[in-house]
Amino acid sequence: MMKTIPDAPTRLRIVPISKLAAAPKWQLETMRALREPLLLWFTHGQGRINLGGSTRGFHPHNAIFIPAGTLYGLQAMTRVQGSAIYFGTRHGLELPDQPLHLRLRDAVQHAEVSHLVDCVQREIDSPRAKSEKAAYLQLGLLAIWLERHRSERADDSARTTPVLNANERLTARYATLLEREFGSSLNVTDYATALGVTPTHLTRACRASCGRTALALMQERRLYEARRLLQDTRIPVQDIARNLGFSTPGYFSRAFTQHIGQPPSSYRKASTAGPNTSRTLS
């Protein structure tokens, strides 16, 4: 019997952003927080990202650092390319504790970050001894690059760190709590009480900062996990329901069908065989 929800991969890895963008919209646009840091390096295309409750556009040669536990959702408006660097949960590095959005206009800076990413990737792919250790050492250089650009305020035309208003700060706190507890049976009132506000206040803040209610964010996070588990594991549906805080398998099935358009069992059967993109989105 499953006691806990299996985590998505948390090892160091680099995924082409084009592969992420080819994933179903629900994987990209669901507002959620990762349990590991993520650096997005865009070399082509544009779109929008809601980062910690603040929505902004991204373009080529943008580097976006997302600390673990930071709520985010991504929308690609054109074909996007670049690299997504997942740091893993045991990187042991000093990293910024706030989101960063760097817009790099200098060709030398473009070449520098691309070179650092290539060096990490080369070690990840290498069959040589100590390649994993070498990859983390290269990742350390990338972490230093981030810290230098944060300290130097590399982009003078825009804030490198989103400045959140009161609604966005509350939504970010809610997202952090939700990421830790989404598998429980807590409801919006429980979360609001834990945050020291009323349910109405919490819902108003979420709607103002990211266009979704507190309940919608909670439902989306649970259903995201349900889809991931249905696609990536053979865990029985009734166990998935219980471990995602649904009172009964029947209630889970009705909620899943209402939002997704088909029952959990049918969704699992329809999932494509073999490796699928959802595994790379943590």
The pTM for the full model equals: 0.76
Which pLDDT value is given to residue 98? Answer: 84
Question: So where are the chain's domains?
Answer: 13-152, 166-281
Residue 272 CA: distances (Å) to CA of 26, 73, 227, 275: 16, 24, 13, 8
> pLDDT digit string (tens) for 121-143?
999 999 999 999 999 999 999 99
Domain 166-281 has CATH 3.40.50.2000: no
Confidence of residue 158 (pLDDT cuts 50, 70, 90): very low
CB contact at 8 A, 119 and 87: no
> pLDDT digit string (tens) for 17-34?
999 888 888 888 888 888
Confidence of residue 163 (pLDDT cuts 50, 70, 90): low
Confidence of residue 272 (pLDDT cuts 50, 70, 90): low
Q: Indicate the SS3 state at residue 116.
A: helix
Is the four-CA dihedral 120, 95, 144, 49 of positive or negative sign?
Answer: positive
> pLDDT digit string (tens) for 186-195?
999 999 999 9
Which pLDDT value is given to residue 160? Answer: 53
Q: What homologous superfamily does CATH list for 13-152?
A: Regulatory protein AraC (2.60.120.280)
Confidence of residue 51 (pLDDT cuts 50, 70, 90): confident
Confidence of residue 42 (pLDDT cuts 50, 70, 90): very high
Of residues 171 and 16, which shows the higher confidence score?
Answer: 16
